[in-house]
Amino acid sequence: MNCPVCKSLEFAETDLHVEGFYESLFECKVCSSTWSVNHGVTEVVKDTQAKSFLEGLSEAVEGDDYNIATDTAR
């Protein structure tokens, strides 16, 4: 898994378990950003590069996920 901010592969995982609640938090060892993953969607909890050109994404999108409608009736 890559850091959603700096794309590093170095991270530490913390598992949280409380009365039926289960969540894993990941912290990047390079940029110190924190994120979680739920149902395949990545949510940045702490973006340490918020004022940088680096951007944390909440979901990976592939090029074919976009449907572009064109007006063919002329």
Contact 6, 31 (CB under 8 A): yes
Q: What percent of the chain has pLDDT over 90?
A: 12
d(CA 61, CA 54): 17
List, for residues 17-50, the tens digit of each pLDDT value.
Answer: 888 888 889 999 998 888 888 877 888 888 777 7
* The model scores a pTM over 0.85: no
d(CA 20, CA 6): 32
Task: Region of 50 please: left (phi>0), alpha (psi -120 to 50) or beta.
Answer: alpha
